[in-house]
Amino acid sequence: MRTDQAEEPAPLFHHPDRNLALELVRATEAAAIRAVPWIGKGDKNAADKAAVDAMRAFLATVDFDGVIVIGEGEKDEAPMLFNGERVGSGRGPSCDIAVDPIDGTSLTAAGRSHALSVLAVSDRGTMLDASSVFYMDKIVTGPEGYGVIDIERPIGDNIRALAAALGKDVDEMRVAVLDRPRHEQLIADIRAAGAGTRLILDGDVAGGINAARRGTRIDMCVGVGGSPEGITTACAVKALGGFMQGRLAPKDDAERERGLAAGLDIDAVLSIEDMVRGDNTFFVATGVTDGALVNGVKREGPIIRTESVVLRSKSGTLRRIEAEHLVEKWLDPEYL
């Protein structure tokens, strides 16, 4: 044993750990609770602002050194949580962060189901920054999709291949798709293959998670949605052991050039490992309104109830957290 030099103490933190994940739930809970007064009020911007302000305030109390890679906007569009913003106390693990204080602002404003408050975390430098290209074509399935699904193949071929891998008839297959004009042909092709669709009004993160989970009514989630939501979904799907591919979908030549200038391979098929590297990702979500993944915020007399999920890739776990909050605390606008 060498004795001629002192051993350097091991750093206290290297990576995000499970305790950090449980701390981050407080931020999604806060965002969801603060959005409640705006549910069904038709003002998605007000709902989003309330959630952003609450999430930022709680993140500031968490002991970690976070950099937002997937954010809500640019710095000059405050109060959005912008790309490149540093969050946390600055002490603790160094992390990449993806935030979506409300995934489904239109759902919240309309009082519809499936709105979530979402955070995803990975080790520093592991999360793809695709912010220069807003849209991404995505396909998500459970683990049966590995070696079976290819985003470059026709959707009918993918549906038939996955059905065979699942041991199901094609007419039993259910495919989630954002209900958008750009997907008219995709929806027609899914139905022509003999499968059924589950049309998503807004917020495709939950659709992707339910496609990757066992025991849900969704076998596959496909279509073009936000690239920020795609990276966030990848963190969750990795924790579930699911399959995911993506391909950036610039809306015009100018956006394509911005993506190329940012170093993105616009035409590449992105694996889940391309979207978030390593095996230490977390995904945290709290229900704003009721959905298939979690229940929304409910007030019962002096109590506010929230339901959240925490997914961790290192352990391959999905934990549900039900919390009760005293209304009197949240009636104080300074309580954060």
CATH 3.30.540.10 intervals, the chain: 18-125+281-335
pLDDT for residue 325:
94
Q: Which of 42, 49, 44 is nearest to 73 (CA)?
A: 49
Q: Binding site residues for Mn(2+), as ranges?
A: 48, 72, 100, 103, 229
Enumerate the CATH 3.40.190.90 domain ranges in the chain, comma separated. Answer: 135-275
Check: CATH 3.40.50.620 for 135-275?
A: no
Instruction: Write the CB contacts of 317 (distance below 8 Å, at least 6 apart in sequence).
Output: 239, 310, 311
Give the annotated binding-site residues: 48, 72, 100, 103-105, 135, 180-182, 202-204, 226, 229
Query: Which residues are documented as binding site for substrate?
Result: 103-105, 135, 180-182, 202-204, 226
How high is the pLDDT of residue 11?
40
Residues 202, 225: Cα–Cα separation, whole Å: 9
CATH of domain 18-125+281-335: 3.30.540.10
The pLDDT value recorded for residue 253 is 95
Q: How far is the first Cα of the chain from the last one, in angstroms, to the nearest whole number? A: 52
Contact 193, 159 (CB under 8 A): yes
Average pLDDT per run of 10 along the chain, which is 336 residues long?
Answer: 38 56 91 95 93 92 91 54 88 91 92 94 93 94 97 98 97 96 97 96 89 93 93 94 96 95 95 93 95 93 96 90 91 64
Who contacts 291 (Cβ-Cβ below 8 Å, separation ≥6)? 113, 114, 115, 116, 206
- Predicted confidence at residue 71, as pLDDT, reads 85
Instruction: Report pLDDT for 155.
Output: 98
